[in-house]
Structure 1
Amino acid sequence: MKVEQIHHVAYRCKDAKETVAFYKRVLGMDLIGAIAEDKVPSTKAPDPYMHIFLDAGGGNILAFFELPNSPPMGRDPNTPDWTQHIAFTVKDMAALDEAKANAEAAGLEVVGPTDHSIFQSIYFKDPSGHRLEVATWTTTPEELERLKAVAPAMIEEWSRTKKPPRHAAWLHQKEFADA
C-alpha cells in the first residue's frame, strides 16, 4: 500500500459561512461540498456539526468543522503559534505578491515575504486564528536532492542530541550573512 495523496485536512472553525467567504475572497478557493449531521458518523456521539470542503487546487481539499455545542476554540498553550499552520503553494513570485496584496486588501496583517532559501513565503491568519502560509518554490532540483540526501542523517543526529544538525546549514548561510 502506498498513499496517493492527502484526501483532506480538517480543522475547526468558528463560523462556517465566514470561513467559506474568507477562503474564497483571500485565496480563491471554491466551496465544493458541505455535510451536516446531528451525530458524528464514526463515533455516533450526539454533536451537531457543519463540515465544509474547499478546493485547494491539484486535487487537494481543505476542510473545516463548525461545532456550535463544543467549548470555544483554543490552542495548545505549550505549542508556539508559528509551528501549527496550513501552507499553500502558488506558481511563482508574482502569484505570491498577488496573494500578499489580496490578504492586505482584506485587512490582514501579513508577514513576509520570508526567504527560506528553497522557497519564499508570506504568513497571515484566517478568521478562526489559524496561521496560513502561502509559498512559492525558488530552488533547483539539485538543491532538493541535496536536502533529501542529508535528511536521514539529520533525523538520526537530532534524535540523539536534540540539537540542530548542520547538514543543511547552507540553506540559511546567505540569510545570516546578509543580517
Structure 2
Amino acid sequence: MSEAHATAFPDLALSHFELYVRDAARMEAFYTACLGFIVTDRGAGADAMVFLSRNAGEHHQLVLNPRPSGRPTDSPLDHISFRVADLAGVRRFYQALRAEAGVAVDAVSHGSTWSIYFRDPEGNRLEVFADTPWHVDQPCRFAIDLERDDAQLLAFTEQQLRGRPGFRPVAQWRREHGEAFGER
C-alpha cells in the first residue's frame, strides 16, 4: 500500500472483540477473577451478553455472547472492532467500503456508538465505530442513515435513546464507573 493511500484514511485503533461462548457464567468468572476485568453491562435473560472492561474510558473491551443454537462452531469470534476519532472517520470507511464491489455495509447505532459492520474477503466480520456522547444499557442496536448530516444524525440518535434504560451522558457513566476501575 502506498503511503499516500494510507494517509487518506483516519487513524484506526483496535477496540474490542466479541466472543461466542458456551458457558457465559464460567467465562465471566475466568475473565474477572484471573484477568481483572469488571462487568460494565449485561443484557437481560438467561442468554444475556456480558460486557467487560479494564479501562473506565472503554465501556467494553470484551463481549461474551452466548452462542446462539445452530451457530456453526468453527470460530468463537463474532467480530473485531476498530475505533475512529469521529463520525467523519466512520463515514470515510463507509464510503470506501461502499465503493468496493460486493461489500455489504450495515450502518447502526448501539446508542454509545455509530458503527458500520462488514465482512472481509474471507468472511470475517469487522466493525468500525465512533463514540456518541451518550450511554445506554447494552445491548442496544438500531439502523442509522450515514447520508444524514452530523446535526440530523445526532438529533435522530438522541431521539432514539431518550427513555431507554441507562440513558445519560457518557461522561457521567465514566464518572460513575471510574471507582470500579480504581480511579478517583
Shorter-chain TM-score: what band? Answer: 0.3 to 0.5
The TM-score normalised by the length of structure 2 is 0.36
The TM-score normalised by the length of structure 1 is 0.37
**Larger RCO of the pair (alpha carbons < 8 Å, separation 6+):** 2
